[in-house]
Amino acid sequence: MTAAGVSKPVPVADEVSEEFWKAAASHVLAIQRCDECGWFSYPPSLTCRGCRLPGRSFHYEPVSGRGRVKTWTVVREAFLPSWKDEIPYLVAVVELDEQEGLYLTAQIVGARPGDMAIGAPVEVVFEDLAEGISVPHFRLAGKRMGR
């Protein structure tokens, strides 16, 4: 989890993201959803990108945590010093099953670069980063986390 005693960056919730991180702490992936038109937004948005109407209200809704790899990269140089011990590691754009174009950029754990392919199914896993703080990552579906 750390490199040379440097902690990985801990997410700091704000007014809009608070419920996302609260759900993540319980290992639930919850995505902001428009009360009116049902559009999911990630990261959470102040206006609905689905209906584009002002004054919409939102709630956070647990999702399946399943999706597909849109694209990926193998990070071989850690621009965040706290990630030095992890290189090389995988970061992918995951398109969640719930909505076309609902993308997350996330670390892919337990996989090697050669395992990656566009369209590969993935599922969410959580890393406990600190007391009460967990971060959603993904793994290739059907594979056990080998870390």
Partner 1 sequence: MTGPRFTGSRQVAIVGYAHSMVERHIDRPLGLLAIETVAQAITDAGLTLDQIDGFTTGSLFPSSGGRGVVDGEHMVTSDWLVEQLGVHPRWICGFQGIGQVVGAVSLAASAIATGAADYVVLHRALYNPPGRYHENPMTTAEGEAQWRAPQGYWGPISEIALPYMEYMQRYGVTREDMATVVVESRRAGSAIPWSVWHDKPLTVDEYLGARMISDPISMLDCDMPVSGVAAFVFTTADRAADLPHRPVYLAGFAQGRARPRNGIGFWDLDSIIDSGAQLADNLWRNSGLTLADVDLPQLYDGFSPFIYFWMEALGYCPKGEASRFVADGGLRPGTGKPFLSSGGAIGNGRMHGIPQMLECYLQLSRRAGERQLDGMEVGLMTQATPNFGGAALYTASKP
Site for partner 1, residues 42 to 71, rule: CB under 8 A: 42-43, 45, 70-71
- Tell whether residue 33 is a contact of partner 1 (CB under 8 A): no
Instruction: Provide the minimum distance between the beta carbon of 144 and partner 1 in the complex, in angstroms, as a whole number.
Output: 21
| Number of other CB atoms surrounding residue 112 within 10 Å | 12
- For residues 81 and 74, what is the distance between their CA atoms, to the nearest angstrom? 16
Name the one range near partner 1 by CB under 8 A: 26-34, 54-62, 79-87, 139-147. Answer: 79-87
| Number of other CB atoms surrounding residue 140 within 10 Å | 22
- Tell whether residue 13 is a contact of partner 1 (CB under 8 A): yes
Of the residues 61, 110, 121, 129, which one makes contact with partner 1 according to CB under 8 A: 129
- Tell whether residue 72 is a contact of partner 1 (CB under 8 A): yes
Query: Quick check: 84 and 78 in contact, CB under 8 A?
Result: yes
Report the interface residues with partner 1, using CB under 8 A: 6-14, 17, 21, 42-43, 45, 70-83, 86, 89, 91, 93, 101, 103-107, 113, 117-118, 129, 135, 137
